[in-house]
Amino acid sequence: MALVTGLADLAVSGLSSALSGVNGLLRRADLGDLLAEGQEEATARGRLLLDRYAAAPPAHLEVLAHTVTARGQAESGSD
């Protein structure tokens, strides 16, 4: 999942510029190493995106319970 998300982020942030250098990459002898590094970078980007955007929001009922408790304490303290 992180790899797919990282690849999507890479596509959005500059895939067009990466495609312009494809001919140069195909002529390189270390293409396998470059591909492995690219996969690692894409996976790392995906993890960062998932950490940033996939964090679960707080449970609605728990937030509501805290709000009600805080109001109750405020009302009983002001009497």
| pLDDT mean over 54-65 | 84
pLDDT for residue 17: 65
pLDDT tens per residue across span 10-49: 777 775 566 667 666 667 678 788 888 889 998 898 888 8
pLDDT tens per residue across span 41-50: 988 988 888 8
Residue 53 pLDDT grade (very low, low, confident, very high; cuts 50, 70, 90): confident
How far is Cα 52 from Cα 38, in angstroms, rounded to an integer? Answer: 21
How far is Cα 69 from Cα 66, in angstroms, rounded to an integer? Answer: 5
- In this structure, are residues 4 and 46 in contact, taking their beta carbons and an 8 Å threshold? yes
Residue 48: which residues within 8 A CB-CB, separation 6 or more?
6
Give ∠ CA 19-24-31 in degrees, rounded to 5: 95
pLDDT for residue 1: 74
